[in-house]
Chains A and B, each alone.
Chain A
Amino acid sequence: MYDVPNSERTVTATDTKIAAKGVQVYYGDTHAIKDVDVQIADKTVTAFIGPSGCGKSTFLRCLNRMNDTIDICRVEGDIHIDGEDIYDKRVDPVQLRAKVGMVFQKPNPFPKSIYDNVAYGPRIHGMARNKAELDDIVESALRRAALWNEAKDRLQAPGTGLSGGQQQRLCIARAVATEPEILLMDEPCSALDPIATAQVEELIDELRQNYAVVIVTHSMQQAARVSQKTAFFHLGNLVEYDDTNKIFTNPTDKRTESYITGRIG
């Protein structure tokens, strides 16, 4: 159905990075996520697909406890990262979020220079002992986000002055600068044009070497292109979770088939 080279399909690492069991999320009276079990592998791109409002972004935001900032949101069940319960009382969400980076749907660079945007995380976590080290961190983060060549001459220019695609890559650079182990991406390309999207997708593929990447996307082509594992959400349920190849060529569930062939959603 989707023309994807098979060589991309092989899941390189099988270590479980995130294990979720019986996760329920409530927004006030709304039951947004219903009993989701999922195991996300390290050094793999996992895509969450599904129609709008199906709960994929909500579930993503559970993984770094971003839902904590929403008053009416309540999360039940177990989510373990590296075998540790992240909803345990002893876990500091601030430290968790340093380990689980996040890139948002709309590029949201801070009203600071490009340099300060990337240096933001390393500075608050005290990752650099001196200016030279910080310069190195910023440079390597910008290189990994494929922004270094465009930005190296204007590091002190405001990050908000970049184009949309550059801003999103800046946000990715900002996220990787804190050396996270997991990168969550909430529809990172929905505000970008096709060229910028292609650049970001290439980047995601490279990030897979070092991180577990979880990406929420509305574009099934994108899920097919960048991910090795795909989870299909529908009305708050995790309907099907399998190798991307399998989901897009031979889905088990009728609803998955309907969605990827465009009949529901």
Chain B
Amino acid sequence: MPASWIFLIVVVLAAAGYVLARGRAMASAGGDQRRLHSLPSYYGTNAAMAAAVPALGLLAIWLIAQPMVSDLYVSSGLPEAIQADAGERSLAMADVRRVADGLDYAVSQGAMTREEAANLSVSANDIRERLGAVGIALGSDVDETTLELAQQYRNLTNTGNTIRTVLVLLVALASFGAAYMMTAKDFRARNTVERAVLILLIAAACVAILTTIGIVFSLIFNTLDFFSRYPAAEFFLGTTWQPSFSGRGGGSELGFLPLIWGTLYISIIALAVAVPLGLFSAIYLSEYASKPVRSVVKPLLEVLAGIPTIVYGLFALLTVGPLLLSAFGNDGVLQLGWMSGGTAAMTAGLVMGIMLIPFVSSLSDDIINSVPQAMRDGSYGLGATQSETIRQVILPAALPGIVGAILLAASRAIGETMIVVLGAGAAASLSLNPFEAMTTVTAKIVSQLTGDGEFNSPETLVAFALGMTLFVITLALNVLALWIVRRYREQYE
């Protein structure tokens, strides 16, 4: 039985359990709700949760664990030589799984009978052709080991699925049965449900944390792989970024510094645009603007946040770049000759800054609004003007939140890709001139991963090292933000 069916059955069971348990509770109280310990719906919820939560939890764990266990078990049948190398082993197992899935699919499509699929042999049947006929394309002919392991894999999966179905349904029934038997007028259903809800909430929080850890781990192994092929010192201290896809790693120089330089330079330009504009508009909106003005301007500002970054990229490429070029370029009106092309750190930085305005303004606006009116009254009561009050009382009080807003914007700026690709160019350079083309870490991650290089080459794996380093930098930034916020909180609240 497929997992979706099991899921549906459990859900139906839970719904039925709700009605049954609620009825039983009411019956035990003689139909008088006041004699129950908890509201009737709590008894129903308790039974429904008992039916659904453990069973669905088991199902989820099974779905994750079963392929891993089968993989581990089946792969022990591979030749020793293949097992020794992690890369070849995973390739061979991918073949095995593909054949196994293909056979299952062929059976379900009616192209093969169940017996036929179970008794295939490499010499008698052309498995590749038969599977191709139902739309499963295999990369190479199926050899004997692969077929044998694929059959083993199919058997394991089939047995596993049967056990899974029985076990999950049994757990659901048993757990529901226990909850149903406990249901009586003095059963503390409310307390049980409240505790269960608490556990569910904690589990939800854990999923978010575990995902973060998972992301780190998914990067870490490839990063270590990269550093085993390319010296770490050259990566972190290298001042040249020159990957060569054709030279098979020989001629590549993968220096990190020009990329992080570009990232930081463009981010700083963006923040230099976004922080003053965003903060000033937040102050205007929260302190000066009348209600009607605010109700129009605030949503308009927030529209900026909804524009896809690729559109900002086009704006940078088609409008801002040429505009800057006409001012600072070789033939520009200022005759400065600082800029040689439309794509430059300045172009991307300016446009990114515009993109970040709503991040800064919207958050700062909320924070400034949350400064108690008593602070303003106190300041006005001493004969301070509005701008004195804002500068000396409101902004210091709102500072932790504003710093948080700015660092959030900084994280966005560092992670931004599309505007950089279109606005800043692709050349990695360690230049001080903001009118020169630069590139960022994220833009290079994209280009390294979408290139046609071999996956196992340092040129591709460097993307993971870049991602990991970027992750560490943004993490450090967030920790710094937390530290600043906490420091000022202690002082002010």
Q: Which residues of A contact B (CB under 8 A)?
A: 64, 66, 69, 71, 94-99, 101-104, 106, 108-112, 120-121, 124-125, 158, 160, 171, 174-175, 178
Contacts and interface: CB of A to CB of B under 8 A. Distances in A.
Contacts of B375: 108, 110-111
B493 A66 contact: no
Contact of B382 (A106, A112, A175): A175
B378 A171 contact: yes
A102 B382 CA distance: 7
A108 B382 contact: no
Contacts of A121: 382-384
Interface string B358-379: 0000000000000010111111
B492 A108 contact: no
A94 B387 CA distance: 12
A97 B374 contact: no
A94 B379 CA distance: 10
A124 B493 contact: no
A108 B378 contact: yes
Contacts of B491: 111, 158
A99 B377 CA distance: 15
Contact of B383 (A94, A106, A109, A158): A94
Interface of B: 290-291, 372, 374-385, 388, 392-393, 396-397, 491-493
A101 B388 CA distance: 17
B383 A108 contact: no
A64 B381 contact: yes
A103 B382 CA distance: 9
A101 B383 CA distance: 8
Contacts of B290: 71
A160 B493 contact: yes
A104 to B, nearest CB: 6
Given A108-B377, A124-B388, A174 B372 contact: no
A111 B377 contact: no
Given A66-B381, A97-B383, 7 more contacts: A69-B380, A97-B380, A97-B381, A98-B383, A120-B382, A120-B392, A160-B493
A110 B378 contact: yes
Given A94-B385, A106-B374, A158-B492, A120 B396 contact: no
Contacts of A106: 374
A110 B377 CA distance: 11
Nearest to B391: A124
B2 to A, nearest CB: 60
A180 B443 CA distance: 62
16 contacts: A64-B381, A66-B380, A94-B383, A96-B383, A97-B380, A101-B382, A104-B378, A104-B381, A108-B372, A110-B375, A111-B492, A124-B385, A125-B383, A158-B491, A160-B492, A175-B382
B383 A178 contact: yes
A66 B492 CA distance: 26
A222 to B, nearest CB: 21
A66 B382 CA distance: 11
Contacts of B397: 110-111
A121 B388 CA distance: 11
B396 A112 contact: yes
A124 B377 contact: no
Contacts of A99: 383
A95 B384 CA distance: 8
A124 B378 CA distance: 13
